[in-house]
A and B are shown apart, each in its own frame.
Chain A
Amino acid sequence: MLAQLLQFLFSGLTVGATYALAALGFTLIYNASNVINFAQGEFIMLGGMLAVFFTQAGLPLPAALALAILVPAVVGILIEKLAIEPVKGAETVTLIIITIGASLVIRGLVQVFLGKNTHSLPAFSGDTPIEILGATLMPQSLWVMGVTAIVVVVLWYFFNRTLTGKAMLATSYNRLAAELVGINTNGVLFMSFAMSAALGALGGILITPITLTSYDVGIMLGLKGFVAAVLGGLGNGLGAVVGGLLVGILEAMGAGYLSSAYKDPIPFVLILFILFFMPRGLFGAKVTDRV
C-alpha cells in the first residue's frame, strides 16, 4: 500500500519537476511580455534531442549537456529578436499564433536534421535503483529533483537579491514605470527568453534518461507546463513550481490508481476545475480593472 503510494509519488515528483521547469519558463516570459510562449515545450524537446545528438557525436557528457542548454537559449533569443520584439503590443491571439509558428519551425527542423526516431540518454549515475520503504527510486530521479531544487533556489536568489533580477521583476509589475527608472525593458525581454529556453532545455535533458525523447514530445510537455503555470497562478514563480509538482503527482496517481490510458487528460481536467472555482489559479493575484 504505502510502497505503492510512495512509488507513484516518486514518479510524480520526477516528472512534476520537469513541468515545474517548463512552468517557470512560461512564467518568466509571461512576466516580461504578457506572451504565452507556446514554443516552450519545444525547448524541452530540443534539450533532450541535442543532448543525445552531441553525446552521440562523441562529445564528453558535460560539454554535450552545456551545448544542449546553450543552443536552445540562442534559439529562444532568436525568437524574441525576430518574432516577438517586432510585434510588441499585438493582440493575444496574434502572439499565440507567432509562438505556435516558432514551435512548428523548431519541431520541423529537428525532424529534418535529427530524424523521427525515439532516443535515449544514459542515466547520469547508473541504473541501480534505490530502495525506500519498499518503493524504488532511480538515481536519475534524484538528479531531476535535485537540479530542479537548485534551480529554484538560484532563481529565488536572482530575483530577490540581484539588481538584474529585481529589474526583471519590476518590469513585470509595471513596464512603463520600469522604463522610466532606466531599466532596459528590451534587455529584460531578451533575458527572459534566453532563461526560459535554458530552463526548458535543462528539464528536457534531465528527464530524457527516464522518459526518452523524440522530435514530437514537446507539445504535451509544453502544454502540461502551461497547465502548471496557470494552476499556480499565471506570473507567479512559486506558483509555477507548486503547480508543476502538483500536476506531476496527480498525473502519476491518476495513472496508477485510475487508468493509465487517461494519464494525459488528467492535468487538463484538473485545470478546468481549478479555473471554474479559482479563476486566478492557486496563487494568482486578484486584478481590478481601472476605468
Chain B
Amino acid sequence: MPALLDVSNLSIHFGGVKAVQDVSFSIDAGIVYSVIGPNGAGKTTLFNLITGVYKPTAGEIRLDGESIGGKSPDELARRGVARTFQNLQICMNMSAIENVMVGAHLRLDRNLIKAALRLPGLTRRDAELREEAFELMRFVGLEKYRDARADSMPYGALKRLEIARALAMKPRLIFLDEPAAGLNPKETIEVDHLVRKVADSGITVVLVEHDMKMVMNLSDRILVLDYGKKLAEGTGEEVRRNPDVIAAYLGAHA
C-alpha cells in the first residue's frame, strides 16, 4: 500500500535562507507522525509547505499518489488536509461555535442569494451544523463555551478550539503545530489525550511539538529536522539512540 503522504526532496528558500532543504519522508495512513527539532529547524515552514501556505522552491509532495506541491490551501482542504497554527489563528470577530462551523465550510451550500433569502433548506442545514459543531466542542472539552465569544476565551481553550475547527473539516490528515505550546502541565496532559482520541478516530496526525514526553508517548514515527535538513527519521526508540540527534539536542558536535 502506498503512503498517504509522500514528500521527496522538498526545499524552500527565502532569499538566501534555505529554510527547508532537500527533505524527504513518507507517512502511512492511520499513524501519529511527529516532526521535532530545535527552534528554527524549519518545522512550521514544512507545515506551511505541505498545507499550501508557502510554495516550494523545489521537490515534490504527493497525497495518495497525487502531486499536490504548490496547490493553494483551499484546494488542499478539499483533499482532506487540515491544520492548526503555532501562533493562534482564531477569528476573534466571531463566536467560538462559529469558528468551528467555519471548519465545515466546504461541506455547505455557500450560495449568496440563497443565504440572503434565508431559504429553509439552508437554515435547516445550518441548525444541524451548529449541533455538529457543538459535538466537536464537547469532543475537545469546550462544552462550557457553547455561547462564548472567541475573544473572551482563555489561551488554552483557544488552542483546542483550533483543533475542533480542523476536525469540522472531516479531514483525513491533520497537522497540529505545537498544540501544547504555552499550556500548563495539566492542560498539556489533556491535549495529549485529545490527540490520542483524534488519532483513534482514524485521522492521520502529523504533530510538531516541543514537549518530548508527549511526542514519545504519542508518536508512531518521528522526523528530526535541524537547520532545515533531515537529521534522522524512525520510531521513538531509533531516534532517541541516533548519535546525530543526541549531538544536535545537546549541542555537542559529534
- In A259-291, the 8 Å CB interface with B consists of 288, 290-291
B48 to A, closest residue via Cβ? A291
- Chain B residues, CB < 8 A from A290: 87
A291 to B, closest residue via Cβ? B85
A286 to chain B, nearest CB (A): 9
- At the interface, is chain A mostly helix, strand, loop or mixed? loop
Complex-state Cα separation, A291 to B86, whole angstroms? 7
Complex-state Cα separation, A82 to B228, whole angstroms? 48
Complex-state Cα separation, A18 to B89, whole angstroms? 43
Asked whether, in the complex, the Cβ of B14 is within 8 Å of the Cβ of A291, the reply is no
Asked whether, in the complex, the Cβ of B14 is within 8 Å of the Cβ of A288, the reply is yes
A272 to chain B, nearest CB (A): 25
B53 within 8 A of A: yes
- At the interface, is chain B mostly helix, strand, loop or mixed? loop
B192 to chain A, nearest CB (A): 24
In the complex, how many residues of chain A place their beta carbon closer than 8 angstroms to a beta carbon of chain B? 3
Complex-state Cα separation, A291 to B53, whole angstroms? 9
Complex-state Cα separation, A164 to B86, whole angstroms? 37
Q: Can you list, as one digit per residue, whether each of A6-50 has a CB less than 8 Å from chain B (1) or not (0)?
A: 000000000000000000000000000000000000000000000
Q: Can you list, as one digit per residue, whether each of B10-38 has a CB less than 8 Å from chain A (1) or not (0)?
A: 00001000000000000000000000000
B47 to A, closest residue via Cβ? A291
A176 to chain B, nearest CB (A): 15
Complex-state Cα separation, A290 to B87, whole angstroms? 9
- Chain B residues, CB < 8 A from A291: 44, 48, 53, 85-87, 89
Complex-state Cα separation, A291 to B89, whole angstroms? 8
- Chain A residues, CB < 8 A from B54: 288
Complex-state Cα separation, A288 to B87, whole angstroms? 15
A290 to B, closest residue via Cβ? B87
- Chain B residues, CB < 8 A from A288: 14, 54
- Chain A residues, CB < 8 A from B14: 288
Complex-state Cα separation, A290 to B54, whole angstroms? 10
B85 to chain A, nearest CB (A): 6
Complex-state Cα separation, A106 to B89, whole angstroms? 41
Q: Can you list, as one digit per residue, whether each of B79-90 has a CB less than 8 Å from chain A (1) or not (0)?
A: 000000111010
Counting from the closest, the 10 A-B pairs by CB-CB distance are A291-B85, A291-B53, A291-B87, A291-B89, A288-B14, A291-B48, A290-B87, A291-B86, A288-B54, A291-B44
Offer 10 A-B interface pairs, CB within 8 angstroms, sorted by A: A288-B14, A288-B54, A290-B87, A291-B44, A291-B48, A291-B53, A291-B85, A291-B86, A291-B87, A291-B89
Interface residues of B (CB under 8 A from A): 14, 44, 48, 53-54, 85-87, 89
